[in-house]
């Protein structure tokens, strides 16, 4: 079922595995990015190094604390309001006067690694390439908007490599932590919230909650476009952000349960014009109803693929707009996103065998997984939000590991 934990609980915090069942309804990289490595018994810490984005724009980012006063929290009923943390990523200017943002906020990172069982001081999650609070580069024009929803028990940080690439190419990307089904979420004042049950297991409920989260976040992006700050209590928005989002060009992508969130959010909200699911299932009425807007299914070979997922096949058969099904040969569930680097990096500290690492991130070389991440989300949103590009027309000699199916 969705969220099956095939490794230990500690490992699974870094490698949540999703398998599908009948009940669960650009430039390629040429080498792996540099990363400090060490054995589990060595003294030197290892560091996650996300590849530098290849687009023409420098990047800014800002985190926002969003409060939906119209909803009680559905997971922790003692909370009278639904709280979310999101990050905005965008093309920026004058970045050298602004600090780099961490890959994950400090208090959240400490809790996350602690819960995963990583010895203190052995893993450094490092910085992103985005500068906190830098002004928006309005020379990029109006910015198409792309939302990102991570997998269950994961974090909005896990898509940083893809997100930075999109921002460097002129997109405004909004990454969402779905509180209490996410890993550690850091709020203002260094308050960290985690799932009180340890992990989310009710995936149909989670998708419903995430869909409501997504629609609320879209409302806040609309407010930002109109010049209002939905988080005025904790700071100012970057200069130039007002009026920058192009609300007529909104897309969304997600990994795992985030993929299920994309299809359900599109079904509920027509503001989302195009969607991409990275090894994600489909839950809820959208499986039967389908969609009339562009949708890209990215799959892994073997037991986790569409062939073994009746709900995903039904959804596919009911897609009435542009559609494409890609399979990344040699990939496994965690080949999509920063886990492709993070899992092998921390494996020695968690006692993971080579077989367990392979089960998590597959046999595809890390550099090729990252090349796919850099090229294909960008190609999809360029095609459907900007009307340009040809990578998705058919198989490419640059990506022999990608199989096409329409």
Write down the pLDDT at residue 42: 56
Write down the pLDDT at residue 148: 98
Write down the pLDDT at residue 305: 76
- Residue ranges in the chain modelled with pLDDT below 70: 1-43, 304
Write down the pLDDT at residue 380: 98
Write down the pLDDT at residue 118: 92
Contact assessment for residue 374 and residue 399, using Cβ atoms and an 8 Å cutoff:
no
pTM of the predicted structure, to 2 decimals: 0.91
Write down the pLDDT at residue 406: 84
Interval 336-385: pLDDT, tens: 999 999 999 999 999 999 999 999 999 999 999 999 999 999 999 999 99
Where are the domains positioned within the chain?
Answer: 9-405
| Beta partners for residue 328, in sequence order | 402
Write down the pLDDT at residue 21: 31
Angle at 353 between CA 348 and CA 356, to 5 degrees: 115
Helices (H) and strands (E) in the chain, counts: 10, 15
Contact assessment for residue 70 and residue 103, using Cβ atoms and an 8 Å cutoff:
no
Write down the pLDDT at residue 16: 38
Interval 355-364: pLDDT, tens: 999 999 999 9
Q: For the domain 9-405, what is the CATH superfamily, name and number?
A: Alpha/Beta hydrolase fold, catalytic domain (3.40.50.1820)
CA distance 197 to 199: 6
């Amino acid at each position: 079922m969705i969220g099956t934990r095939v490794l230990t609980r500690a490992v699974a915090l870094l490698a949540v595995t999703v398998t599908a069942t009948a009940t669960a309804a650009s430039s390629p990289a040429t080498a792996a990015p540099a990363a400090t490595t060490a054995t589990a018994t060595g003294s030197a810490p290892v560091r996650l190094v996300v590849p530098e984005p290849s687009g023409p724009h420098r990047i800014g980012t800002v985190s926002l604390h969003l409060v939906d006063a119209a909803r009680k929290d559905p997971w922790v009923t003692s909370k009278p309001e639904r709280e979310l943390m999101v990050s905005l990523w965008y093309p920026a200017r004058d970045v050298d006067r602004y600090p780099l943002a961490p890959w994950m906020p400090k208090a959240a990172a400490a809790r996350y690694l602690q819960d995963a069982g990583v010895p203190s001081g052995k893993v450094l999650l490092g910085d992103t390439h985005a500068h906190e609070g830098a002004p928006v580069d309005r020379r990029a024009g109006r910015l198409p908007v792309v939302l990102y929803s991570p997998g269950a028990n994961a974090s909005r940080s896990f898509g940083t490599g893809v997100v930075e690439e999109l921002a460097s190419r002129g997109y405004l990307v909004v990454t969402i932590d779905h509180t209490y089904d996410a890993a550690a979420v850091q709020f203002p004042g260094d308050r960290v919230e985690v799932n009180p049950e340890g992990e989310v297991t009710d995936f149909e409920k989670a998708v419903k909650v995430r869909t409501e989260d997504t629609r609320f976040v879209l409302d806040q992006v609309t407010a930002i476009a109109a010049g209002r700050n939905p988080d005025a209590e904790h700071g100012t928005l970057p200069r130039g952000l007002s009026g920058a989002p192009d609300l007529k060009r909104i897309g969304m992508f997600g990994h795992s349960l985030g993929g299920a969130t994309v299809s359900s959010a599109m079904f509920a909200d027509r503001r989302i014009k195009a969607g991409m699911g990275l090894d994600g299932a489909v839950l809820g009425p959208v499986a039967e109803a389908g969609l009339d807007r562009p949708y890209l299914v990215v799959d892994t070979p073997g037991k986790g693929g569409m062939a073994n997922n009746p709900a995903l096949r039904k959804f596919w058969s009911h897609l009435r707009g542009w559609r494409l099904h890609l399979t990344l040969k040699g990939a496994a569930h965690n080949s999509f996103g920063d886990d492709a680097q993070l899992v092998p990096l921390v494996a020695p500290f968690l006692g993971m065998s080579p077989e367990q690492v392979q089960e998590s991130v597959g046999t595809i070389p890390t550099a090729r997984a990252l090349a796919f991440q850099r090229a294909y989300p960008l190609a999809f949103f360029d095609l459907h939000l900007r009307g340009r590009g040809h990578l998705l027309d058919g198989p490419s000699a640059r990506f022999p590991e990608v199989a096409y199916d329409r």
